[in-house]
Structure 1
Amino acid sequence: MRALRTFRAVALDLDGTTLNSSHALTPRTLAALRKVEATGVQVILATGRPLISVQAYVEQLGLPRPVPAVCFNGACAALVDGAGEKILLSRGLSRSAAESILQICDDRGWCASYCQSHGSAAAPKTEADDGWLKKFEALEGMQQARVASLWEMLDEPPLKVTALAADPRGQAAEARKLLPPGAANVVAAEMHIEFLPADVNKGDTLQRLCSELGMKVDEVIAFGDNFNDMEMLSLAGEGVAMQNAKEELKQVANRVSPWTNDQDAVARELELLLEPE
């Protein structure tokens, strides 16, 4: 384990990693992140959540400088503080890719969301869809607009499209087979799948963000738990998987924490890194 002073930044997935199962930052985690920032090491958030959903956590952290954030699983990167956000990078789906994705969702009866930097919209067809969507909104920490049809929104291509999934891994594999080659990167998530531009993922955008911040990605220690963290943990100078992480992520991580997100794994790991040698 390298000392914290050998890194210039800490990149943190939120759900399943930095947040507990109640989607909260615990007092111990807040204290550890503030101590990290006080050493001069940059705290970076890297999440599948929309940019709007990150604001509350940044305000809770109360750090003295804006927090760089990779959002939408890499489709957007911004500097976030109490006054709002400044978008640094944005890479959305093409119209043709969005059309292919919406057609697959319609054909399969998947309830989809059309995600843009200023908010998301969905067109649930049944009461069951709407109830399921409300659970997803609770997970993301933001409400989505309800519209009659997502097809009406194509004049402004989305950053990503999500689809609710009872079997995220299986439905992601199905979607990959149905899409035109190179149309999108399909990621399995907690209760949904995500369609991103083909070359977009957290790791690639973190690397681009690091360049904007004047550092290299191998100067970052990254923490994650799910499939969407694979590239980020692979590219970082050190990648740490939570004990509760997917087995596939544990295989690409440099090491696996002995603790879960509900055991303050990120805080415990950072406390060890902060200890004097």
Structure 2
Amino acid sequence: MDFKVVALDLDGTILNSDKKVSENSKRVLQYLSSEEYKKSNDNKDIMVLLASGRAPYLVQPVEEALGIDCYLIGYNGSVCYSRKSEGRKTLFSRSIKNNYLQKVLKYVEENNLFLNIYSDGGFVYGIDTPSLKEKPERYSIMTGATYKFISSYSELPEGFEPAKCLIILDDDNECDQLLEKMRPLFPELSLVKSNCMNKDYKQYYVEFLEHGVNKGTSVIDFCTAKSVDRSQVVAFGDAENDIEMLSEAGFGICLQNGTEPTKKVSNLISSFTNDQDGVARELVKLFNLPEYLIQ
């Protein structure tokens, strides 16, 4: 298959349970991005696209850990940036309109839910709520996010329009039930389920995005911006917020640790988990790379 783009989810996919990039993953992706590979493959430039629900500034450390120049999609598709070598320009950006944000804020206040609101300044707004303090604490530990706590949503900047906001929950079933309940109440927004976990904590999220925004639409928009056919994209993921990306890509691969709904839409279910270098092993097979890269 003539793939030109490798789209990678972060948590549960290219990152292991310790939230690290493995040495095997580094070797494989660095080789795929190397001049050696280009020269032996008709100067083909493989574009690596990191696609995450995280804020872009929290995606960049993964790019640095991989040691390659990547395109970045943040906030589950709300924003996309070019490579560093291309000046890290904004390829596209979308945000939640302020009137819809106000509707979300009212709902979470009435239902005593903890909401992350993502700023443009590299931090997350959250209400300082003692009874819910473990939620942002654990989120910060798992993702590296920095919070700016406020006492009231009235302290948000006037007319503020975030790229994304999300409700933090600790139970998978509770998340499913809340998502089902909220979707009819917010038809003007995209509501997406996602999760994050390490060896100590698990969290589940109901994410709010501009209507129509998800990783799948962002991959389509990326392909348009880079004049690539979506059939030339191979995508890797594990969770519900990866479903559209795996569906829209030419070839979607779900790792063995992925959720059942995500596996159902995938072209291939890897035999390997994120802790077994699933991405690296599948890339070696797909691109016919040297076997010594997996050690």
TM-score by length of 2: 0.86
Q: Give the corresponding residue for 2:216.
A: 203
CA–CA distance in structure 2, aligned partners of residues 151 and 253 of structure 1:
43
2:161 aligns to what SS in structure 1? coil
Structure 1 pair 51/257, CA: closer, same or farther in 2 (3 Å)?
A: same
CA–CA distance in structure 1, aligned partners of residues 117 and 57 of structure 2:
14
1:61 positional shift: 2.1
Q: Give the corresponding residue for 2:198.
A: none
2:106 to 74, 98, 103: 103
Q: Does 2:3 match 1:7?
A: yes
Q: Does 2:155 match 1:177?
A: no
Structure 1 pair 82/50, CA: closer, same or farther in 2 (3 Å)?
A: farther
1:22 to 10, 18, 22: 18
Q: Does 2:280 match 1:267?
A: yes
Query: What amino acid is the match of 1:42?
Result: M
Structure 1 pair 276/61, CA: closer, same or farther in 2 (3 Å)?
A: closer
CA–CA distance in structure 2, aligned partners of residues 213 and 83 of structure 1:
12
Query: What amino acid is the match of 2:246?
Result: L
Q: Give the corresponding residue for 1:228.
A: 241
> 1:225, 1:249 within 8 Å by CA — same for their partners in 2?
yes
1:214 positional shift: 2.1
CA–CA distance in structure 1, aligned partners of residues 85 and 224 of structure 2:
24
Query: What amino acid is the match of 1:20?
Result: N
Q: Does 2:113 match 1:117?
A: no
1:83 positional shift: 11
Query: What amino acid is the match of 1:8?
Result: K
Structure 1 regions of 5+ residues with no counterpart?
none
> 2:6, 2:48 within 8 Å by CA — same for their partners in 1?
yes
CA–CA distance in structure 1, aligned partners of residues 247 and 234 of structure 2:
10
1:276 positional shift: 6.4
1:137 positional shift: 1.3
2:13 aligns to what SS in structure 1? helix
Structure 1 pair 171/84, CA: closer, same or farther in 2 (3 Å)?
A: farther
> 1:55, 1:80 within 8 Å by CA — same for their partners in 2?
no
> 2:135, 2:169 within 8 Å by CA — same for their partners in 1?
no
1:176 positional shift: 1.3
2:256 to 234, 240, 243: 243
2:165 to 161, 165, 177: 161
Query: What amino acid is the match of 1:48?
Result: G
Runs of 4+ in 1 over 6 A off after TM superposition: none
CA–CA distance in structure 2, aligned partners of residues 76 and 246 of structure 1:
25
Query: What amino acid is the match of 2:178?
Result: Q
> 1:229, 1:249 within 8 Å by CA — same for their partners in 2?
yes
1:62 positional shift: 2.2
Q: Give the corresponding residue for 2:27.
A: 31
Structure 1 pair 131/82, CA: closer, same or farther in 2 (3 Å)?
A: farther
2:12 aligns to what SS in structure 1? helix
1:92 to 84, 95, 98: 95
Residues 254-277 of structure 1, C-alpha deviations (whole Å, 9 max, x = no match): 110011111110011111123269
Q: Give the corresponding residue for 2:84.
A: 81
1:185 aligns to what SS in structure 2? strand
Q: Give the corresponding residue for 1:50.
A: 55
Percent of residue pairs identical: 30
1:219 to 232, 246, 250: 232
Structure 1 pair 24/82, CA: closer, same or farther in 2 (3 Å)?
A: farther
1:82 positional shift: 9.0
1:69 positional shift: 1.1
CA–CA distance in structure 2, aligned partners of residues 124 and 188 of structure 1:
24
Structure 2 regions of 5+ residues with no counterpart?
38-44, 196-202, 291-295
CA–CA distance in structure 2, aligned partners of residues 249 and 199 of structure 1:
19
> 1:102, 1:151 within 8 Å by CA — same for their partners in 2?
no
CA–CA distance in structure 2, aligned partners of residues 10 and 147 of structure 1:
39
Query: What amino acid is the match of 2:9?
Result: D
CA–CA distance in structure 2, aligned partners of residues 212 and 107 of structure 1:
41
Aligned alpha-carbon RMSD (Å): 1.9
> 2:223, 2:230 within 8 Å by CA — same for their partners in 1?
yes
CA–CA distance in structure 1, aligned partners of residues 228 and 120 of structure 2:
26
CA–CA distance in structure 2, aligned partners of residues 170 and 144 of structure 1:
27
